[in-house]
Amino acid sequence: MSIERREIAVVGGGLAGTATALGFAAKGFDTVLIAPETAADARSSALLGRSVAFLSEFGIMEALAGKAAPLSVMRLVDDTGGLLRAPTVEFHASEIGLSAFGYNVLNRDLGDALQERMASETNLERCNAKAVGFEPGEANAIVTLDDGSRYAVDLVVAADGRRSPIREAAGISVRQWHYPQTAIVFNFEHAVDHRSVSTEFHTRSGPVTQVPLPGRRSSLVWVEDPKLAELYADLRLEKLSETVADKLHWILGRVTVEEPIQRFPLGGAVVDRLTGDRLALVGEAGHAFPPIGAQGLNLGLRDGEAIVRFALESRDDPGRRVTLLRYEAARKADIRSRTLGVDLLNRSLLAGMLPMQLARSAGLAAMSRVPFLRQFAMREGLSPGAGLMGVPRSVRKWIGGDHA
């Protein structure tokens, strides 16, 4: 079979891969998205900061009007019941001059908006097939699909998820670990208006996070012991609804849980390199951690935005080694800090970690009292390095955070 020529191949049609492929095509790169059909997903994603800007570049946020709920307040409640209970902390977007931190949207709606946009993108072809081979070479890389077709491209972007077959073919090693936790995930209606507030209850088995959806509806990510998660997920819907209302301390009144009830075992992963010859990893192919603080997809979208930006600066050969090294250098700190931050917060909740519980309580207590710390955390949560923008330039220079 003959080999087709393209500039970019994105492997993996999850949210990170599809958005990245659209990002390349919108900037004029001749792109192929290698993406077998994906299963329906009832989860939602809170899109924050630069992710919103990236998706807006090709019209996705506009397409989601009416389907995305603004997040104006994020509230952390210590529900561990321990002696070292931290005070409740509220982060208001208005405190850093924003009307909202971002927007929560069903993954299905985001996926549909991306698909619709793809249909009108002339620089983008979608192949409904799996990549089964990756051979990097001096001048290009060859990707082979399970239908026998082959593509010669300048750059392969692997957005093929946690198990990333392309990462494996490139010989990039990964360290993976598991937490003794499962996330139970579903959407629900509630009697009381959420007023654009997301509340995260920190419990001894992990965070339980309610995130607003349009109307009197929210999504819930409930991190639990795996055995209990199995029991809760099997409850009759009425019983589960009562349990959820209780778990949320009735802040939203009566709730009605909707099917499906999904479960995700929690784990993390770090890779030893984010790039290889003519290869860049994007999304969960390059990093994974538990769904805490709405960071996973946002990190993946920031990867996508960055690889498109660097490729554009190297327009004649976007797969050049130096371009990939610049991408890797630019993404390292963001990925490391999010992976470590989420891991520490999660572990600090688990029983038997007294020093970490103490540190978490002290950190939250400080944030509840000191506006500067709160504002730093809010800016940093939205965009890496942005927290430092509230700090005087001389101090930024001193701590090495001023790259202007």
Ligand X SMILES: Cc1cc2nc3c(=O)[nH]c(=O)nc-3n(C[C@H](O)[C@H](O)[C@H](O)COP(=O)(O)OP(=O)(O)OC[C@H]3O[C@@H](n4cnc5c(N)ncnc54)[C@H](O)[C@@H]3O)c2cc1C
Binding site for ligand X (CB under 6 A): 11-17, 34-36, 38, 43, 45-46, 130-131, 159-161, 165, 183, 185, 221, 264, 283-284, 291, 294-298, 300
15 versus 96: smaller Cβ distance to ligand X: 15
64 versus 361: smaller Cβ distance to ligand X: 64
Structure token pair of residue 26: 């919108």
296 versus 381: smaller Cβ distance to ligand X: 296
Residue 122: exposure state from Cβ atoms within 10 A (0-12, 13-18, ≥19): exposed
Amino acid (1-letter code) at residue 45: S
Min dist. Cβ of residue 280 to ligand X (A): 13
Min dist. Cβ of residue 161 to ligand X (A): 3
Instruction: Report whether 206 contacts 360 (CB < 8 A).
Output: no
Amino acid (1-letter code) at residue 8: I
In the three-class reduction of DSSP (H, G, I as helix; E, B as strand; rest coil), residue 350 is classed as coil
Residues 190, 201: Cα–Cα separation, whole Å: 17
Min dist. Cβ of residue 289 to ligand X (A): 9
Residue 280: exposure state from Cβ atoms within 10 A (0-12, 13-18, ≥19): buried
43 versus 320: smaller Cβ distance to ligand X: 43
Residues 49, 101: Cα–Cα separation, whole Å: 7
131 versus 141: smaller Cβ distance to ligand X: 131
17 versus 318: smaller Cβ distance to ligand X: 17
Q: Across the strands, what pairs with 222?
A: 184, 208
Which position has the token pair 């607003």? Answer: 212
Min dist. Cβ of residue 358 to ligand X (A): 28
Residues 190, 170: Cα–Cα separation, whole Å: 48
H or E segment at 76?
strand 73-78
Min dist. Cβ of residue 234 to ligand X (A): 18
Instruction: Report whether 92 contacts 108 (CB < 8 A).
Output: no
247 versus 361: smaller Cβ distance to ligand X: 247
Min dist. Cβ of residue 269 to ligand X (A): 11
131 versus 367: smaller Cβ distance to ligand X: 131
Which residues, 6+ apart, have CB-to-CB distance to 344 below 8 Å? 356
C-alpha atoms less than 13 angstroms from C-alpha of 359 in its C-beta half-sphere: 11
Min dist. Cβ of residue 50 to ligand X (A): 12
Which position has the token pair 């430092």? Answer: 388
Min dist. Cβ of residue 151 to ligand X (A): 12
